[in-house]
Chain A
C-alpha cells in the first residue's frame, strides 16, 4: 500500500492517455500541490508536459499547438471555470480528470458548454489527497472541529479525501472508530454512506482478510504534537515547517538564492530517503562520512570536519563536491539551520524536560524543572507555553498541582494573553474528561524502564523516550486485542482474524512522530501494512492554532447553552 505510487500512477496515466505532442497541465490550487509532491518538474517535462497553468488564471494565452490535460477537484468554481474555458477553448483538445466523484448534472453542464467539441475524455481519477510519504497522506485541512463537532463544510470534504484514498488503494474496508469521539463516528458513517452509494466503484477483489479503516481523534493524544522532535523529517517540520514537502528558507540570514525554497522528497533525493527517519546525531555523522569519502579522492588539502560550520566551509571550498553530491549540500544548509535553532532556543534542555513530563512520574522533579525553564529568559514563548501545557495535561488531577503558579510564571515572562489562554483550551481539548484511551499510564519501575527503551531503532536516548499513543493502539489492533468497547465496529460485521491492511485516519491531524512509529511497525511486523493519514500533519504551532479554533467555538457553545452571551474577543 503506497499512496505516493498510487497518485503518481494516476498522473502518469493521464499523461499517457493524451498521446504524443506538447501538452499543458491545467490544475487548481489544490491539485497543483497534489501533483507537485509526487512529480518533479524535470520528470514531467520529459513526458512532453511543457506548461503548467491554473484553471482560475484569467490571462492565459491561446496555444492551439498544445493539448490540455485538466486535473481538477470537482468543485463548483472549477466547473464554472471549465465551462468558460470550453466555450472559448485555448488549447486544441481537452482531457479532463476530476480528483473525485462529480455529479451527472455538472457533466451535463460541461457537455452543453463544449460547443467546439474539444473534449476527448472525461474521467474520475481519485487522487484527492497529498501523498507525503509512501505510507502517509494529508488533506491539508485545518480547524476541522468546532467544539466537539465537525465544522459543517469540512465533514463532506474530509469524507471525499478519505474515500479517494480508499479508491486509490483499492480498499473496501471494515470501519472501526474511536467511541469517545462523536466526530469519528460521524466520519465513519459518512464514509460508509459513500461506499454504499458507489458500490460499483468499491467492488474490488475480495481478500481473505478484509482491510480495516481505523478512525481516531487527535484529542485522545494531545501530548504527541506538543513535543519537540529529533528525527530529520519531524524536526524539519517542527522547527522550519514542511508544507507539501517544501521548506521556506527565505528568511534565513545569508541564504543563497537557489536555497530560498527547498524540496525534501524521498522519491528524488537519495540522502533524504536514507536519513529522514534517523536522529539528528546520525544525520550529522552521515553527512560527515560522505564528505570524508569525497576527501579521500583528494589527499592534499584535507580539511577537518568536526562541526556543522566546518561542513559548510567544505561545501563552499569544493564546488565539485556540490555538483557531484547534488543534494548533500542542500542538506548541509538545512541541518545547519536546525543546529542554529537548537542552540538558540536551548532545545536540548527544553526537550529533556518535555520528555520527562511525557514519560516519567516524578512530580516534584518535573515541577522544579518546568519552573526553572520558565524562569530562564532564553527559553522562547512557544517553548514555555508547550511546557506548561504538557504539565497541565500530565498532572491534571494531581493533588499538589502547581499549575496556577506556573501560569503566574508565564505572565511574569511576558507571554501573551492569547498563548496563556491556550493552556486552558488545551486541557479542555485533550484532558482526561474527553479522552477515551489511557494516555497517561500508571507508572511503576517496570513501566518506566519499558518506556525508556521504547525509543526509536534501538537508540536509547533521553530525547526520544516518548512513544506516541498511536503505537500502542496499533500494536493492540495488530494482535487482535483492541477493545470493542473503545473502538467499536461500524455495522454488524467484524474481522475474525488479525488485520493485515490497515488505514489509520486521525481527525484533527497526525504528526511525523506518529508517521515514524507506523514506518517502524511496517518494517518489523511481517504481513501487516499500515498507511497513516490525517486532516493535516501538525507541528506544535499548527496544533495550537487548531486547538484555539476548536475551543473558541466550544466556549461559545457552552456559554449559549448556559443562557449567557459568548465572549467577544
Chain B
C-alpha cells in the first residue's frame, strides 16, 4: 500500500508560521509587553498546561491493563508447569511440582476475580460524566471485559485439558499395574486409591 508522508513539510511550514507570529508580535509590542516572552494572542489558549485533569477512572484502566499482562504471564508459567508435570515418566510423589501448580492456579483465579471487580468498579467511578465521557467509559469497559472473558475461557480450557491429560496418565498407569502380577492385590488397590485421590484434589 502506497503512502506519502507530509509531516516534514508540515512541520517546516508550522515553524515558519510560528516565527512569523513572533515577528509580528514583536512589531506590535510596546515596552511592557516586550518583557513577557512567548505571549500568545489568544488568551484562551492552553500554554502547555492542561487546565482539566483526566478523569480518575483513567488510572484504573492502566492498572487493569497491567494486571491483565500479569495474568497472561502467569498463565504461561502455569502451562510450562503443566507440561513439565505431565511429561515426567516417574511415578513417585512429585508433590513439589503439584504444589507449585496449585499455588499458581489459585493466584491466577484470584487475579481474575480482582480484575473483574476492578472493571465493574470502573463503571461506578464516573461521577459527573458527560454523555461522551460515559460513551468512552462504556467502550473501555466493554473492551476490557471482552479481553478478560477471552483469557478466562482460555484458562478454563487449559485447566480441563490438563485434568484430562492427568486422568489419562493415571488410567494408563493403572493398566500397567493391572496387566502383570507385580504387586499384591491389596497394594494394587491402595496405590490406585492414592492416585485417584490426588487427581480429584486438583482445583
Contact = CB atoms under 8 A, between A and B. Distances in A.
Contact of A107 (B13, B40, B54): B13
B66 to A, nearest CB: 12
B60 to A, nearest CB: 12
Contact of B143 (A50, A60, A87, A104): A50
Interface in A42-65: 42, 45-46, 48, 50-51, 60-65
B190 interface: no
Contact of B140 (A50, A60, A101, A119): A50
Contacts of B52: 62, 64
Please classify the interface of chain B as helix (H, G, I), strand (E, B), loop, or mixed, using the class held by over half of its residues: helix
Contacts of A60: 132
B133 A63 contact: yes
A346 B136 CA distance: 48
B14 A123 contact: no
A22 B7 contact: no
B132 to A, nearest CB: 5
A45 B14 contact: no
Interface residues of B, number: 38
Interface stretch (A109-117, A314-322, A377-385, A506-514): A109-117
Interface footprint category on A: 35 or more
A123 B135 contact: no
Contacts of A64: 50, 52, 54
Interface string B15-42: 0111001000000000000000000101
Given A22-B58, A50-B136, A112 B17 contact: yes
Interface string B134-148: 011001101100110
B119 to A, nearest CB: 14
A114 B132 CA distance: 25
B61 interface: yes
A24 B7 CA distance: 20
Contacts of A177: none
Interface string A156-175: 00000000000111100000
Contacts of A107: 6, 9-10, 13
A170 B130 CA distance: 44
Given A51-B135, A121-B5, A167-B2, 6 more contacts: A45-B143, A46-B146, A60-B132, A117-B14, A122-B7, A123-B3
Interface of B: 1-7, 9-11, 13-14, 16-18, 21, 40, 42, 44-46, 50, 52, 54-55, 58, 61, 130, 132-133, 135-136, 139-140, 142-143, 146-147
